[in-house]
Structure 1
Amino acid sequence: MKLEIPTGEFAGYIFDLDGTLVDTMPLHYRAWNQAMKAVGLTSELDEELFYSLGGVPTRDVAELIAKHYGLKIDAMAVFHHKESLFRSLQKDAKLIEPVVEFARRAALTHPVAIASGGPREIVRRSIEIAGLVSLFSIVITPEDVVNGKPAPDMFLLAAKRMGVPPEKCLVFEDAEPGMRAAEAAGMRWVRVPSRAPAKKKPAN
Protein backbone atom coordinates (compact mmCIF):
# COMPACT_ATOMS: atom_id res chain seq x y z
CA MET A 1 0.00 0.00 0.00
CA LYS A 2 1.33 3.42 -0.98
CA LEU A 3 0.03 6.47 0.86
CA GLU A 4 -0.04 9.70 -1.14
CA ILE A 5 0.89 12.26 1.52
CA PRO A 6 0.29 15.84 0.36
CA THR A 7 3.07 18.37 0.66
CA GLY A 8 2.81 21.05 3.32
CA GLU A 9 3.27 21.61 7.01
CA PHE A 10 0.71 19.90 9.23
CA ALA A 11 0.36 20.38 12.98
CA GLY A 12 -1.97 17.47 13.77
CA TYR A 13 -3.16 14.20 12.27
CA ILE A 14 -6.64 12.64 12.44
CA PHE A 15 -7.33 9.02 11.57
CA ASP A 16 -10.52 7.16 10.80
CA LEU A 17 -10.45 3.71 12.41
CA ASP A 18 -12.29 1.05 10.39
CA GLY A 19 -10.63 0.51 7.04
CA THR A 20 -7.94 3.08 7.85
CA LEU A 21 -6.01 1.93 10.93
CA VAL A 22 -7.60 -1.51 11.31
CA ASP A 23 -8.85 -3.78 8.53
CA THR A 24 -12.31 -4.31 9.99
CA MET A 25 -14.49 -3.43 7.02
CA PRO A 26 -14.86 -7.03 5.74
CA LEU A 27 -15.90 -7.99 9.28
CA HIS A 28 -18.43 -5.16 9.43
CA TYR A 29 -19.80 -6.32 6.08
CA ARG A 30 -20.31 -9.85 7.39
CA ALA A 31 -22.08 -8.51 10.48
CA TRP A 32 -24.34 -6.18 8.46
CA ASN A 33 -25.14 -8.95 5.98
CA GLN A 34 -26.31 -11.27 8.77
CA ALA A 35 -28.18 -8.54 10.65
CA MET A 36 -30.09 -7.38 7.58
CA LYS A 37 -30.96 -10.94 6.54
CA ALA A 38 -32.47 -11.39 9.98
CA VAL A 39 -34.95 -8.58 9.23
CA GLY A 40 -35.96 -9.59 5.72
CA LEU A 41 -33.06 -9.09 3.30
CA THR A 42 -33.39 -11.97 0.83
CA SER A 43 -30.12 -11.51 -1.07
CA GLU A 44 -26.52 -10.82 -0.18
CA LEU A 45 -25.99 -7.24 0.99
CA ASP A 46 -24.62 -5.20 -1.91
CA GLU A 47 -20.94 -4.56 -1.20
CA GLU A 48 -20.82 -1.32 -3.19
CA LEU A 49 -23.69 0.03 -1.11
CA PHE A 50 -22.00 -1.07 2.10
CA TYR A 51 -18.63 0.49 1.28
CA SER A 52 -20.27 3.72 0.12
CA LEU A 53 -21.50 4.17 3.70
CA GLY A 54 -18.05 3.86 5.30
CA GLY A 55 -17.65 6.29 8.19
CA VAL A 56 -21.37 7.02 8.49
CA PRO A 57 -22.65 6.54 12.07
CA THR A 58 -23.78 2.94 12.57
CA ARG A 59 -27.35 3.83 13.54
CA ASP A 60 -27.75 5.78 10.29
CA VAL A 61 -26.32 2.90 8.25
CA ALA A 62 -29.14 0.61 9.38
CA GLU A 63 -31.74 3.08 8.17
CA LEU A 64 -29.98 3.76 4.87
CA ILE A 65 -29.60 0.07 4.03
CA ALA A 66 -33.23 -0.60 4.94
CA LYS A 67 -34.39 2.33 2.79
CA HIS A 68 -32.34 1.05 -0.16
CA TYR A 69 -34.01 -2.37 0.03
CA GLY A 70 -37.46 -1.12 0.99
CA LEU A 71 -37.39 -2.87 4.37
CA LYS A 72 -39.34 -1.78 7.44
CA ILE A 73 -37.06 -2.19 10.44
CA ASP A 74 -36.52 -1.19 14.04
CA ALA A 75 -33.23 0.61 13.40
CA MET A 76 -32.07 0.45 17.01
CA ALA A 77 -32.76 -3.27 17.26
CA VAL A 78 -30.84 -3.93 14.02
CA PHE A 79 -28.04 -1.67 15.24
CA HIS A 80 -27.64 -3.65 18.47
CA HIS A 81 -27.85 -7.01 16.67
CA LYS A 82 -25.22 -5.94 14.14
CA GLU A 83 -22.84 -4.72 16.86
CA SER A 84 -23.29 -7.99 18.76
CA LEU A 85 -22.36 -9.91 15.61
CA PHE A 86 -19.37 -7.65 15.00
CA ARG A 87 -18.06 -8.05 18.54
CA SER A 88 -17.79 -11.78 17.92
CA LEU A 89 -15.60 -11.07 14.87
CA GLN A 90 -13.45 -8.21 16.21
CA LYS A 91 -10.57 -10.40 17.33
CA ASP A 92 -9.93 -11.34 13.69
CA ALA A 93 -9.12 -7.77 12.62
CA LYS A 94 -5.60 -6.95 11.39
CA LEU A 95 -3.71 -3.67 11.51
CA ILE A 96 -3.26 -1.67 8.32
CA GLU A 97 0.45 -1.41 8.91
CA PRO A 98 1.48 1.50 6.62
CA VAL A 99 -1.08 3.79 8.27
CA VAL A 100 -0.29 2.63 11.81
CA GLU A 101 3.42 3.12 11.16
CA PHE A 102 2.77 6.66 9.92
CA ALA A 103 0.65 7.37 13.00
CA ARG A 104 3.37 6.08 15.32
CA ARG A 105 5.99 8.31 13.67
CA ALA A 106 3.69 11.33 13.65
CA ALA A 107 2.80 10.89 17.32
CA LEU A 108 6.45 11.37 18.29
CA THR A 109 6.27 15.04 17.33
CA HIS A 110 2.60 15.96 16.74
CA PRO A 111 -0.82 15.36 18.32
CA VAL A 112 -2.87 12.56 16.78
CA ALA A 113 -6.55 11.62 17.13
CA ILE A 114 -9.11 9.07 15.97
CA ALA A 115 -12.48 10.15 14.54
CA SER A 116 -14.62 7.07 13.93
CA GLY A 117 -18.25 6.60 12.94
CA GLY A 118 -18.59 3.54 15.18
CA PRO A 119 -20.22 3.44 18.63
CA ARG A 120 -17.81 4.42 21.42
CA GLU A 121 -17.85 0.98 23.08
CA ILE A 122 -17.01 -0.80 19.82
CA VAL A 123 -14.35 1.78 18.87
CA ARG A 124 -12.66 1.52 22.26
CA ARG A 125 -12.60 -2.26 22.07
CA SER A 126 -11.14 -2.19 18.54
CA ILE A 127 -8.39 0.17 19.72
CA GLU A 128 -7.63 -2.09 22.69
CA ILE A 129 -7.53 -5.27 20.57
CA ALA A 130 -5.26 -3.51 18.06
CA GLY A 131 -2.87 -2.35 20.79
CA LEU A 132 -3.34 1.33 19.94
CA VAL A 133 -4.59 2.66 23.29
CA SER A 134 -1.30 4.28 24.24
CA LEU A 135 -1.02 5.96 20.85
CA PHE A 136 -4.43 7.65 20.76
CA SER A 137 -5.57 9.55 23.82
CA ILE A 138 -8.07 11.57 21.73
CA VAL A 139 -10.91 9.47 20.33
CA ILE A 140 -14.02 11.07 18.80
CA THR A 141 -17.20 9.08 18.06
CA PRO A 142 -20.71 10.12 16.95
CA GLU A 143 -21.79 10.29 20.62
CA ASP A 144 -19.55 13.36 20.98
CA VAL A 145 -21.18 15.50 18.29
CA VAL A 146 -24.54 16.53 16.85
CA ASN A 147 -23.84 15.30 13.31
CA GLY A 148 -21.63 12.42 12.19
CA LYS A 149 -19.79 12.11 8.87
CA PRO A 150 -20.16 13.46 6.20
CA ALA A 151 -20.73 16.53 8.40
CA PRO A 152 -17.45 18.10 9.65
CA ASP A 153 -18.35 18.01 13.37
CA MET A 154 -16.17 15.05 14.38
CA PHE A 155 -13.05 16.37 12.67
CA LEU A 156 -13.55 19.87 14.03
CA LEU A 157 -13.90 18.50 17.57
CA ALA A 158 -10.78 16.36 17.11
CA ALA A 159 -8.84 19.45 15.97
CA LYS A 160 -10.12 21.43 18.95
CA ARG A 161 -9.05 18.73 21.41
CA MET A 162 -5.64 18.50 19.77
CA GLY A 163 -5.29 22.28 19.98
CA VAL A 164 -4.66 22.52 16.24
CA PRO A 165 -6.37 24.83 13.70
CA PRO A 166 -8.51 22.77 11.27
CA GLU A 167 -6.55 23.95 8.25
CA LYS A 168 -3.37 22.55 9.82
CA CYS A 169 -4.82 19.03 10.19
CA LEU A 170 -4.33 16.11 7.83
CA VAL A 171 -7.02 13.42 7.78
CA PHE A 172 -6.56 9.75 6.85
CA GLU A 173 -9.74 8.15 5.47
CA ASP A 174 -10.81 5.18 3.37
CA ALA A 175 -14.40 6.18 2.54
CA GLU A 176 -16.12 8.96 0.66
CA PRO A 177 -18.27 10.27 3.57
CA GLY A 178 -15.12 10.80 5.65
CA MET A 179 -13.34 12.60 2.84
CA ARG A 180 -16.33 14.91 2.36
CA ALA A 181 -16.33 15.55 6.12
CA ALA A 182 -12.64 16.46 6.03
CA GLU A 183 -13.20 18.88 3.15
CA ALA A 184 -16.17 20.43 4.95
CA ALA A 185 -13.89 20.95 7.97
CA GLY A 186 -11.31 22.73 5.81
CA MET A 187 -8.81 19.88 6.13
CA ARG A 188 -6.72 18.07 3.56
CA TRP A 189 -6.99 14.30 3.42
CA VAL A 190 -5.20 11.10 2.44
CA ARG A 191 -7.13 8.27 0.84
CA VAL A 192 -6.28 4.90 2.40
CA PRO A 193 -6.75 2.28 -0.37
CA SER A 194 -7.67 -0.46 2.05
CA ARG A 195 -10.29 -2.14 -0.10
CA ALA A 196 -9.49 -4.36 -3.04
CA PRO A 197 -10.91 -3.06 -6.35
CA ALA A 198 -14.39 -4.32 -7.14
CA LYS A 199 -14.45 -7.37 -9.39
CA LYS A 200 -15.54 -6.62 -12.93
CA LYS A 201 -18.59 -8.48 -14.10
CA PRO A 202 -17.86 -10.80 -17.03
CA ALA A 203 -19.01 -9.55 -20.42
CA ASN A 204 -22.00 -11.33 -21.93
Structure 2
Amino acid sequence: MTELGLPAHIRACLFDLDGVITSTATLHTAAWRETFDAFLRRRDGAGFRPFDPVGDYAAYVDGRPRADGVRTFLASRGIELPEGEPDDPPERATVHGLGNAKNALLLRKIEQEGVETYPGSVRYVDAVRAAGLRTAVVSASANCAAVLRSVGMTDRFDVRIDGVVAEERALPGKPHPDTFLAAAQDLGVSPHEAAVFEDALAGMDAARTGGFGYAIGVDRIGQADALREHGADTVVRDLAGLLDGRAEGT
Protein backbone atom coordinates (compact mmCIF):
# COMPACT_ATOMS: atom_id res chain seq x y z
CA MET A 1 0.00 0.00 0.00
CA THR A 2 1.14 3.54 -0.70
CA GLU A 3 1.32 6.42 1.80
CA LEU A 4 -2.20 7.29 0.63
CA GLY A 5 -3.47 3.94 1.89
CA LEU A 6 -4.08 2.75 -1.68
CA PRO A 7 -2.71 -0.09 -3.81
CA ALA A 8 0.25 0.95 -5.96
CA HIS A 9 -1.65 0.48 -9.24
CA ILE A 10 -4.22 3.22 -8.46
CA ARG A 11 -3.83 6.29 -10.71
CA ALA A 12 -7.07 8.16 -10.00
CA CYS A 13 -9.46 8.78 -7.11
CA LEU A 14 -13.22 9.16 -7.56
CA PHE A 15 -14.91 10.90 -4.63
CA ASP A 16 -18.57 11.10 -3.73
CA LEU A 17 -19.50 14.57 -2.44
CA ASP A 18 -22.20 14.46 0.24
CA GLY A 19 -20.90 12.70 3.33
CA VAL A 20 -17.40 12.20 1.92
CA ILE A 21 -16.14 15.69 1.04
CA THR A 22 -18.88 17.86 2.53
CA SER A 23 -21.21 17.54 5.50
CA THR A 24 -24.28 18.10 3.32
CA ALA A 25 -25.41 14.51 3.90
CA THR A 26 -26.99 15.64 7.17
CA LEU A 27 -28.91 18.34 5.30
CA HIS A 28 -30.04 15.82 2.68
CA THR A 29 -31.24 13.47 5.42
CA ALA A 30 -33.24 16.21 7.13
CA ALA A 31 -34.78 17.36 3.83
CA TRP A 32 -35.80 13.82 2.89
CA ARG A 33 -37.29 13.22 6.33
CA GLU A 34 -39.41 16.38 6.25
CA THR A 35 -40.55 15.69 2.69
CA PHE A 36 -41.54 12.07 3.20
CA ASP A 37 -43.11 12.64 6.63
CA ALA A 38 -45.29 15.44 5.27
CA PHE A 39 -46.40 13.21 2.37
CA LEU A 40 -47.05 10.18 4.59
CA ARG A 41 -48.95 12.30 7.14
CA ARG A 42 -51.25 13.61 4.39
CA ARG A 43 -51.72 10.09 3.02
CA ASP A 44 -52.05 8.01 6.19
CA GLY A 45 -53.06 10.49 8.87
CA ALA A 46 -51.59 11.00 12.33
CA GLY A 47 -50.72 7.31 12.71
CA PHE A 48 -48.30 7.30 9.76
CA ARG A 49 -44.94 5.50 10.04
CA PRO A 50 -42.23 8.17 9.82
CA PHE A 51 -39.20 8.07 7.55
CA ASP A 52 -36.25 6.56 9.41
CA PRO A 53 -33.32 8.98 8.97
CA VAL A 54 -30.83 6.14 9.51
CA GLY A 55 -32.24 2.89 8.12
CA ASP A 56 -34.50 4.28 5.39
CA TYR A 57 -31.98 6.90 4.34
CA ALA A 58 -29.13 4.40 3.98
CA ALA A 59 -31.19 1.71 2.26
CA TYR A 60 -33.35 3.69 -0.12
CA VAL A 61 -32.16 7.23 -0.89
CA ASP A 62 -28.52 7.78 0.05
CA GLY A 63 -26.36 8.22 -3.05
CA ARG A 64 -29.21 7.76 -5.52
CA PRO A 65 -30.52 10.31 -8.01
CA ARG A 66 -33.41 12.25 -6.48
CA ALA A 67 -36.24 10.61 -8.44
CA ASP A 68 -34.77 7.14 -7.85
CA GLY A 69 -34.69 7.86 -4.13
CA VAL A 70 -38.38 8.77 -4.17
CA ARG A 71 -39.33 5.65 -6.11
CA THR A 72 -37.20 3.29 -4.03
CA PHE A 73 -38.39 4.55 -0.65
CA LEU A 74 -42.06 4.62 -1.66
CA ALA A 75 -41.75 1.11 -3.08
CA SER A 76 -40.47 -0.04 0.34
CA ARG A 77 -43.81 1.14 1.75
CA GLY A 78 -45.85 -0.38 -1.06
CA ILE A 79 -46.68 3.04 -2.51
CA GLU A 80 -46.62 3.90 -6.20
CA LEU A 81 -47.08 7.42 -7.54
CA PRO A 82 -47.37 8.82 -11.07
CA GLU A 83 -44.03 9.97 -12.45
CA GLY A 84 -45.30 13.46 -13.28
CA GLU A 85 -43.07 15.99 -15.03
CA PRO A 86 -39.60 17.24 -14.06
CA ASP A 87 -41.01 20.71 -13.32
CA ASP A 88 -43.91 19.53 -11.14
CA PRO A 89 -44.54 21.87 -8.20
CA PRO A 90 -43.48 20.56 -4.77
CA GLU A 91 -47.07 20.13 -3.61
CA ARG A 92 -47.97 17.73 -6.44
CA ALA A 93 -48.18 14.06 -5.40
CA THR A 94 -45.90 12.69 -8.10
CA VAL A 95 -42.39 11.26 -8.08
CA HIS A 96 -41.01 14.51 -9.48
CA GLY A 97 -43.21 16.62 -7.23
CA LEU A 98 -41.84 14.94 -4.09
CA GLY A 99 -38.31 15.18 -5.45
CA ASN A 100 -38.74 18.89 -6.09
CA ALA A 101 -40.17 19.37 -2.60
CA LYS A 102 -37.07 17.74 -1.14
CA ASN A 103 -34.75 19.87 -3.28
CA ALA A 104 -36.50 23.09 -2.28
CA LEU A 105 -36.07 22.15 1.39
CA LEU A 106 -32.42 21.24 0.82
CA LEU A 107 -31.59 24.53 -0.87
CA ARG A 108 -33.29 26.40 1.96
CA LYS A 109 -31.25 24.47 4.53
CA ILE A 110 -28.02 25.10 2.63
CA GLU A 111 -28.79 28.83 2.53
CA GLN A 112 -29.71 28.96 6.21
CA GLU A 113 -27.11 26.59 7.66
CA GLY A 114 -24.30 26.72 5.11
CA VAL A 115 -22.07 23.91 3.88
CA GLU A 116 -18.92 22.68 5.57
CA THR A 117 -16.19 20.37 4.37
CA TYR A 118 -14.63 17.57 6.37
CA PRO A 119 -11.09 18.82 7.09
CA GLY A 120 -9.68 15.30 6.86
CA SER A 121 -11.16 14.88 3.40
CA VAL A 122 -9.71 18.17 2.18
CA ARG A 123 -6.34 17.11 3.56
CA TYR A 124 -6.61 13.77 1.80
CA VAL A 125 -7.65 15.22 -1.56
CA ASP A 126 -4.71 17.62 -1.40
CA ALA A 127 -2.36 14.71 -0.63
CA VAL A 128 -3.76 12.72 -3.56
CA ARG A 129 -3.16 15.60 -5.95
CA ALA A 130 0.30 16.27 -4.54
CA ALA A 131 1.14 12.62 -5.26
CA GLY A 132 0.20 13.13 -8.92
CA LEU A 133 -3.06 11.15 -8.95
CA ARG A 134 -6.02 12.51 -10.88
CA THR A 135 -9.29 13.30 -9.12
CA ALA A 136 -13.00 13.35 -9.89
CA VAL A 137 -16.12 14.13 -7.91
CA VAL A 138 -19.02 11.78 -8.65
CA SER A 139 -22.30 12.84 -7.10
CA ALA A 140 -25.99 12.23 -7.70
CA SER A 141 -26.69 15.82 -6.67
CA ALA A 142 -27.75 18.40 -9.23
CA ASN A 143 -26.36 21.00 -6.81
CA CYS A 144 -22.83 19.60 -6.84
CA ALA A 145 -21.17 22.43 -8.78
CA ALA A 146 -22.73 25.11 -6.58
CA VAL A 147 -21.70 23.28 -3.39
CA LEU A 148 -18.10 22.91 -4.62
CA ARG A 149 -17.98 26.61 -5.43
CA SER A 150 -19.37 27.52 -2.02
CA VAL A 151 -16.58 25.63 -0.22
CA GLY A 152 -13.82 26.66 -2.65
CA MET A 153 -13.02 23.16 -3.92
CA THR A 154 -13.85 23.37 -7.63
CA ASP A 155 -10.18 23.40 -8.67
CA ARG A 156 -9.37 20.25 -6.68
CA PHE A 157 -11.18 17.96 -9.13
CA ASP A 158 -10.18 17.32 -12.72
CA VAL A 159 -13.59 15.91 -13.62
CA ARG A 160 -17.12 16.40 -12.27
CA ILE A 161 -19.87 13.86 -12.96
CA ASP A 162 -22.99 14.98 -11.11
CA GLY A 163 -26.75 14.88 -11.49
CA VAL A 164 -26.68 17.50 -14.23
CA VAL A 165 -23.99 15.72 -16.26
CA ALA A 166 -25.66 12.34 -15.73
CA GLU A 167 -28.92 13.68 -17.15
CA GLU A 168 -27.14 15.23 -20.12
CA ARG A 169 -25.38 11.95 -20.90
CA ALA A 170 -28.35 9.72 -19.96
CA LEU A 171 -26.27 7.91 -17.33
CA PRO A 172 -28.19 5.84 -14.79
CA GLY A 173 -27.29 6.74 -11.22
CA LYS A 174 -25.92 4.68 -8.35
CA PRO A 175 -26.16 1.77 -7.60
CA HIS A 176 -25.41 1.45 -11.32
CA PRO A 177 -21.69 2.06 -11.98
CA ASP A 178 -22.17 4.29 -15.03
CA THR A 179 -21.35 7.65 -13.41
CA PHE A 180 -18.14 6.28 -11.88
CA LEU A 181 -17.24 4.61 -15.19
CA ALA A 182 -17.78 7.92 -16.99
CA ALA A 183 -15.49 9.68 -14.52
CA ALA A 184 -12.74 7.11 -15.03
CA GLN A 185 -13.07 7.39 -18.79
CA ASP A 186 -12.92 11.19 -18.66
CA LEU A 187 -9.77 10.93 -16.53
CA GLY A 188 -8.19 8.53 -19.02
CA VAL A 189 -7.86 5.56 -16.67
CA SER A 190 -9.36 2.09 -16.55
CA PRO A 191 -11.75 1.21 -13.71
CA HIS A 192 -9.05 -1.09 -12.31
CA GLU A 193 -6.75 1.93 -11.98
CA ALA A 194 -9.32 4.00 -10.06
CA ALA A 195 -10.30 4.04 -6.39
CA VAL A 196 -13.84 4.92 -5.29
CA PHE A 197 -14.54 6.82 -2.05
CA GLU A 198 -18.14 6.49 -0.84
CA ASP A 199 -20.28 6.74 2.27
CA ALA A 200 -23.42 5.32 0.63
CA LEU A 201 -24.29 1.66 0.23
CA ALA A 202 -25.54 2.39 -3.29
CA GLY A 203 -22.13 3.87 -4.09
CA MET A 204 -20.37 0.77 -2.78
CA ASP A 205 -22.59 -1.37 -5.00
CA ALA A 206 -21.61 0.79 -7.97
CA ALA A 207 -17.91 0.43 -7.19
CA ARG A 208 -18.21 -3.35 -6.89
CA THR A 209 -20.18 -3.93 -10.07
CA GLY A 210 -18.02 -1.46 -12.01
CA GLY A 211 -14.86 -3.46 -11.37
CA PHE A 212 -12.94 -0.62 -9.72
CA GLY A 213 -9.48 -1.24 -8.36
CA TYR A 214 -10.21 -0.28 -4.75
CA ALA A 215 -13.21 0.88 -2.75
CA ILE A 216 -13.00 2.96 0.43
CA GLY A 217 -16.07 3.20 2.62
CA VAL A 218 -16.41 6.35 4.70
CA ASP A 219 -18.46 5.54 7.78
CA ARG A 220 -20.13 8.68 9.16
CA ILE A 221 -23.21 7.00 10.68
CA GLY A 222 -22.05 3.69 12.13
CA GLN A 223 -22.56 1.39 9.16
CA ALA A 224 -19.02 0.03 8.75
CA ASP A 225 -20.18 -3.59 8.53
CA ALA A 226 -22.79 -2.75 5.89
CA LEU A 227 -20.21 -0.86 3.82
CA ARG A 228 -17.96 -3.93 3.87
CA GLU A 229 -20.86 -6.19 2.95
CA HIS A 230 -21.54 -3.97 -0.05
CA GLY A 231 -17.96 -4.16 -1.29
CA ALA A 232 -15.70 -1.78 0.64
CA ASP A 233 -12.09 -2.97 0.74
CA THR A 234 -11.32 -0.59 3.60
CA VAL A 235 -13.54 1.45 5.94
CA VAL A 236 -12.49 4.66 7.67
CA ARG A 237 -14.33 7.14 9.83
CA ASP A 238 -12.50 9.97 8.07
CA LEU A 239 -10.23 10.03 5.02
CA ALA A 240 -7.37 11.40 7.09
CA GLY A 241 -7.26 7.90 8.61
CA LEU A 242 -5.80 6.62 5.34
CA LEU A 243 -2.88 9.03 5.74
CA ASP A 244 -2.45 8.22 9.41
CA GLY A 245 -2.74 4.46 9.04
CA ARG A 246 -6.05 4.34 10.91
CA ALA A 247 -8.14 2.40 8.40
CA GLU A 248 -10.56 0.10 10.20
CA GLY A 249 -9.73 -3.03 8.27
CA THR A 250 -10.67 -4.86 5.14
Q: TM-score, normalised by structure 2?
A: 0.71
How far apart are the structure 1 equivalents of 2:134 and 2:7?
18
Q: Is 1:45 aligned with 2:51?
A: yes
In the alignment, which of 183, 192, 197 is matched to residue 218 of structure 2? 192
Q: 1:59 corresponds to which residue?
A: 67
Q: Is 1:178 aligned with 2:200?
A: no
Deviation at 1:197, TM superposition (A): 5.9
Q: What number of residue pairs does the alignment pair up?
A: 193
The residue type paired with residue 140 of structure 1 is I
Q: How does 1:80-91 map to 2 (within 5 A)?
A: 80-90=100-110, 91=113
The Cα offsets for residues 79-110 of structure 1, whole Å up to 9 and x where unpaired, read as 11100100111243321222221111212312
Q: TM-score, normalised by structure 1?
A: 0.86
User: Is 151-160 or 99-108 further displaced after alignment?
Assistant: 99-108
Contact 1:5/1:190, CA 8 A, preserved across alignment: no
Q: How does 1:15-164 map to 2 (within 5 A)?
A: 15-41=15-41, 42-46=48-52, 47-52=54-59, 53-71=61-79, 72=81, 73-90=93-110, 91-108=113-130, 109-119=132-142, 122-141=143-162, 142-143=166-167, 144-164=169-189
- Extract unaligned runs of 5+ from structure 2: 42-47, 82-92, 225-250
The Cα offsets for residues 120-146 of structure 1, whole Å up to 9 and x where unpaired, read as xx1112111222111124110232343
The residue type paired with residue 183 of structure 1 is R
- Extract unaligned runs of 5+ from structure 1: 199-204
**Larger relative contact order (Cα-Cα within 8 Å, sequence gap ≥ 6):** 1
Whichever of the two has the greater Rg, that structure is: 2
The residue type paired with residue 50 of structure 2 is E
Contact 2:40/2:49, CA 8 A, preserved across alignment: no
Deviation at 1:156, TM superposition (A): 0.8
In the TM superposition, structure 1's runs of 4+ consecutive aligned residues that sit over 6 Å from their partners are none
Contact 1:19/1:194, CA 8 A, preserved across alignment: yes
Residue 161 and residue 110 in structure 1: after superposition, are their counterparts in 2 closer, same or farther (change >3 A)?
Answer: same
